[in-house]
Structure 1
Amino acid sequence: MGTKIEPTVIQPGDKWLNKHTWAWASWDWGQAAINAVMITFVFTVYLTSELFGDTDHSSLVLSQALSLAGLLIALLVPVTGLRADAAGRRKLWIMVNTFLLVVVCAAGFFVYPDPRFLIFGVAIIAALSLFSEFAGVNYNAVLNQISTRATVGKVSGFGWGMGYVGGILALALVLFGFVQPLVDWPGANTTDSLNLRWVAVFSAAWCLIFALPLFFVIPESPSTVSTKIPLSQSYKVLWGRIVGLWREDRNLLFFLGSSAVFRDGLSAIFTFGGVIAAGTFGFTLTEVIIFAIVGNMVAALGAVIGGRLDDVIGPKAVITGSLIGLLLAGAGVFFSPGASGFWIFGLLLTLFVGPAQSASRSYLSRMIPPGREGELFGLYATTGRAVSFLAPMLFGLAIALATPFVASGEAQRYGILGILVVLLIGLFLLLPIQSPRKTSNA
């Protein structure tokens, strides 16, 4: 079963910033409401507040739900992405999973401020994480349709930047429209946390509206194999590709494994950042959103600076330095006695996250043999989720182990150590890997 090199919708020499790039990046702009508002800084803070009972218990339940979602992602996402590529149904499955995201997100309106609704609420967050990854695998794979080898970095960075800016704007609208409204309107009513429940509907609408350009502008992907892959053979084909890498390029395979670990730690910083700010350092929801807006700005700045350093000192040095910076800043958060310390070290965390994310993608781009971009970027996306349960699991485990020995409400702080362990493991796995050669592509 031979693979075909996938054609792009643009040709070398075409402008990289075109209607396809805008349409593709618009999806990331819309998806930012799911990630920044629902999963990270607003709705999870609502779920882990005292409205739903003991905050340590709520944080533990949330981490367990995300761990379960991570296990499902590890089992299901690799083959769903593989089958979508093979069948030429990539855009179709982006659309299907985006609609599922919208429906599940809107269901957050029915999560009332009562401990009896905690399980329902965290189940929604876990489902959002799951469907987001289903859509994201195919979304990332579209990158090879709308870019050339010489422009893939620019296009990828533009999409990442659009995601950050979309998150900033969505958070600002939530802050001034629902949490601290500039105008008194029915959606700002705080009775039964109506304003926060309306945030779920707002996020669903935001996600859908900005996904529409991708639906209408980006063409469906062609089939990449001459025959369709039966469901029963999907895992066998996936395993065959991994075995092939073991034989042909173990350095690349080891990078996929190490990046899967440290990228899970990077995701956890944002996933649990708002929860820690509110539960451990006493931030109000307004303060959490303001921190999130500033943090996204700092992360975007870090990604730009890291991208420039990448071309000078190489991606491995950028990732290594970023992970060390994250470990030091994370330790600073853990030992900080108050909110001022969280502001300082928390923003340092966001500063180092951007370079680590962008350099990781650049690292792989430099290592991919010509003609195998689609296959290996897809494997990069799926291996990144294969251990997506690890950071939430260690976050929850650290809280559970600390609970009997600390005062009520203090155990959540120890979840930070669980995230730092994941980053440390990822760093140790990265160090022995050879740096990729620089390419000459402009």
Structure 2
Amino acid sequence: MGGRVMNDAALGALPSAPVRPSGRKVWAWAMWDWGTQPLNTVIITFVFSVYITGSAFGSENDTSIALSVSTMIAGLIVAVLAPVLGQASDRTGRTVRNLRWQTWAIALLAACLFFVAPAPGYLWLGLGLLGVASIVGEIANVNYYALIDQVATKKDVGRVSGFGWGLGYLGGIVALMLLYFGFIAPEVGLFGVSSHDGLDIRVSMLVCAVWIVGFTIPTFVALRDTPRPPALPVGILASYRMLWASLKRLWVEDRNTARFLVASALFRDGLSGVFAFGAVLAAQTFGFSAGEVIMFGAAANVVAGVSTIGFGFLDDRIGPKRVILLSLIALCGLGLGVFLLHDGGQIVFWTLGLAMCAFVGPAQSASRSFLARAIPDGRSGEIFGLYATTGRATSFLSPSLFGLAIAVGAAITRSETTQYFGILGIVVVLVAGLILMLAVTDPEQSHA
């Protein structure tokens, strides 16, 4: 494979000493995942995105296409900004400060969604706010991931990463259930809120804003920026010259991590597709009602959260690569099962769908712990920025192959109800990532 053998000094910013960071700091770090989870679970996935594509805002095709366009634009912006802002955090040492204002910005954007009334004229306002919130959230993740070196060592990073990811899933389910039973499901919910003029959804966005601010306070109380010598400001073009230089240096000095970034870009897109299109399959192929979809989403978050915490311990024992491979193999097999047994009724999706959720979180968490173990000292923000960028660079694959597989299924079966073929498109992406991951070694064993 060429290059040099990575020694302990090159394994990253993670401390190698047996002294563990305090449990209080681990909890405080993980609370950011709990606190910001409503952005993903409530706003982007199960509640606001469904609201903004509803009939009140226009025809189904028009609102769906508008959502896809706004999502694509947001993804491109993240791909452009994430590595540059990650470099800036590394140079200044202000990772915690940057994460704090980004978190407050997410909360403010969530609160602003209250003003998106159910009328066609508010469609692009809602999509614009949703897009900006997703951009800020993705960039905030870069800084959050980089802070793992304050709360974990190389010996326990798997457990810490799994704990944070799992706590995030559990936070999502608690927030979703609170809003569903408190405002959305009842004819008249808490504080007299009803569905008139979309108030049940709009008030839920205000609750999300309060949740985000309140539950992330421990993170900013316990964690501190690492002082760095004053650095001269670097412009955008200079940042990208530095980015290109870091990519070339990474390929020369640590080819294994470079390979991992490519492999993870593929399988992480497949993992995102499992959640992104699970609701579509549940509703259109297995006949779930809207309420049943939300209940499945709640159960999915519980399963994913518990399994991710459990697999975090396995990560530290057998290494993140094996956890990733095990998860991808299981997901491919279960995905094929969903396709083959699509006419078996709701019990099939409840069983196989929840089983798939048990492996999505562990693969995501092990991917983060893999990178945390491999990052060179002082480059956490930069490399996690590349991690976000490579993930966004392939984010079109799962949606494209999902739709293509459905079209192929329609052509083969001459039917207009072939959504279940879409799971095959996602499986193709997961298989591609699995194959590339076979050529990657765990950081402790890696050769550049």
Provide the rounded CA distance (Å) in 2 between the counterparts of 1:60 and 1:167: 27
The answer for the alignment partner of 2:89 in structure 1 is 84
The answer for the alignment partner of 1:192 in structure 2 is 197
Q: Displacement of 1:37 after TM fit?
A: 0.8
The answer for the alignment partner of 1:27 in structure 2 is 32
The answer for the alignment partner of 1:17 in structure 2 is 23
The answer to whether the Cα contact below 8 Å between 1:30 and 1:209 also exists between their aligned partners in 2 is yes
Is residue 391 of structure 1 aligned with residue 398 of structure 2? Answer: yes
Provide the rounded CA distance (Å) in 2 between the counterparts of 1:406 and 1:132: 42
The percent identity for this pair of structures is: 46
* Unmatched runs of 5 consecutive residues or more in structure 2: 1-10
The answer to whether the Cα contact below 8 Å between 1:24 and 1:159 also exists between their aligned partners in 2 is yes
Q: Displacement of 1:14 after TM fit?
A: 5.1
Equivalent residue in structure 2 for 1:320, among 322, 325, 329: 325
Provide the rounded CA distance (Å) in 2 between the counterparts of 1:37 and 1:104: 14
The answer to whether the Cα contact below 8 Å between 1:10 and 1:148 also exists between their aligned partners in 2 is yes
The answer to whether the Cα contact below 8 Å between 1:108 and 1:197 also exists between their aligned partners in 2 is yes
Provide the rounded CA distance (Å) in 1 between the counterparts of 2:148 and 2:375: 15
* Unmatched runs of 5 consecutive residues or more in structure 1: none
The answer to whether the Cα contact below 8 Å between 2:266 and 2:429 also exists between their aligned partners in 1 is yes
Q: Deviations over 1:257-289 (max 9, x none)?
A: 111221122123223433443455443332222
Provide the rounded CA distance (Å) in 2 between the counterparts of 1:120 and 1:286: 26
The answer to whether the Cα contact below 8 Å between 2:179 and 2:204 also exists between their aligned partners in 1 is yes
Provide the rounded CA distance (Å) in 1 between the counterparts of 2:71 and 2:249: 32
The answer for the alignment partner of 1:42 in structure 2 is 47
Provide the rounded CA distance (Å) in 2 between the counterparts of 1:174 and 1:139: 26
Q: 1:320-339 residue pairs with structure 2 within 5 A?
A: 320-334=325-339, 336-337=342-343, 338-339=345-346
Q: Deviations over 1:337-364 (max 9, x none)?
A: 3433322222122011022112223333
The answer for the alignment partner of 1:423 in structure 2 is 430
Q: Deviations over 1:119-174 (max 9, x none)?
A: 44333332222110111111111111333334433332332222122112101101
Provide the rounded CA distance (Å) in 1 between the counterparts of 2:367 and 2:14: 23
Provide the rounded CA distance (Å) in 1 between the counterparts of 2:105 and 2:410: 36
Equivalent residue in structure 2 for 1:364, among 368, 371, 390: 371
The answer for the alignment partner of 2:245 in structure 1 is 240
The answer to whether the Cα contact below 8 Å between 2:35 and 2:171 also exists between their aligned partners in 1 is yes
Q: Displacement of 1:26 after TM fit?
A: 1.8
With structure 2 as the length reference, what TM-score do the two structures score?
A: 0.83
SS in 1 for 2:225: coil
Is residue 258 of structure 1 aligned with residue 278 of structure 2? Answer: no
Change (3 A) 1:310 1:190: same
Provide the rounded CA distance (Å) in 2 between the counterparts of 1:235 and 1:105: 31
Q: 1:254-293 residue pairs with structure 2 within 5 A?
A: 254-278=259-283, 280-293=285-298
Q: Displacement of 1:396 after TM fit?
A: 5.7
The answer to whether the Cα contact below 8 Å between 2:15 and 2:153 also exists between their aligned partners in 1 is no
The answer to whether the Cα contact below 8 Å between 1:56 and 1:411 also exists between their aligned partners in 2 is no
Change (3 A) 1:365 1:156: same
Provide the rounded CA distance (Å) in 2 between the counterparts of 1:228 and 1:148: 31
Provide the rounded CA distance (Å) in 1 between the counterparts of 2:366 and 2:355: 17
Counterpart AA for 1:354 = G
Q: Displacement of 1:52 after TM fit?
A: 4.5
The answer for the alignment partner of 2:183 in structure 1 is 178
The answer to whether the Cα contact below 8 Å between 1:86 and 1:223 also exists between their aligned partners in 2 is yes
Counterpart AA for 1:343 = W
Q: Displacement of 1:331 after TM fit?
A: 3.5
Change (3 A) 1:84 1:411: farther
